[in-house]
Amino acid sequence: MQIIVLTCLVAVAVAAPQFEEPVVELLRDERVFNEDGTFSYAVEADNGIKTAVSGSIGAGGQINQEGSYTFILEDGTQALVSFVANENGFQPQSSLLPTPHPLPEHVFELLEIAERQRAAGIVFE
């Protein structure tokens, strides 16, 4: 009985999937940190990921940053995201980001009517 249990355990151990950790090699890693609080870094990996950021201390004591990062999409194209991060928050720009649908023409007409009513002193409660 012990041999059967031992044989089953060995079979399960041999049949278990073997995973290999992906290895990413850094092609570029440049970092500069200055005593005045400014900094910059640029990193590039062999899998197509790249980032470059520069930063400084803002007027309110926050860290302001601007930079970009790129990565490879599933279809093989390269995606680019540029950004600014400051007292106004994180502001990315990319063709990947969703955009709102354009407003229908009648909305602009309604906004004009509302503006004329406000100018004429008409108030709705």
Confidence at 118, pLDDT banded by 50, 70, 90 = very high
Q: Please state the domain extents for the chain.
A: 21-95
| Contacts for 39 with CB less than 8 Å, ≥ 6 apart | 31, 32, 33, 54, 55, 56
pLDDT at residue 12 greater than cutoff 80: no
Question: What pTM did the predictor assign?
Answer: 0.62
Confidence at 117, pLDDT banded by 50, 70, 90 = very high
How large is the greatest C-alpha to C-alpha distance in the chain, in angstroms? 96
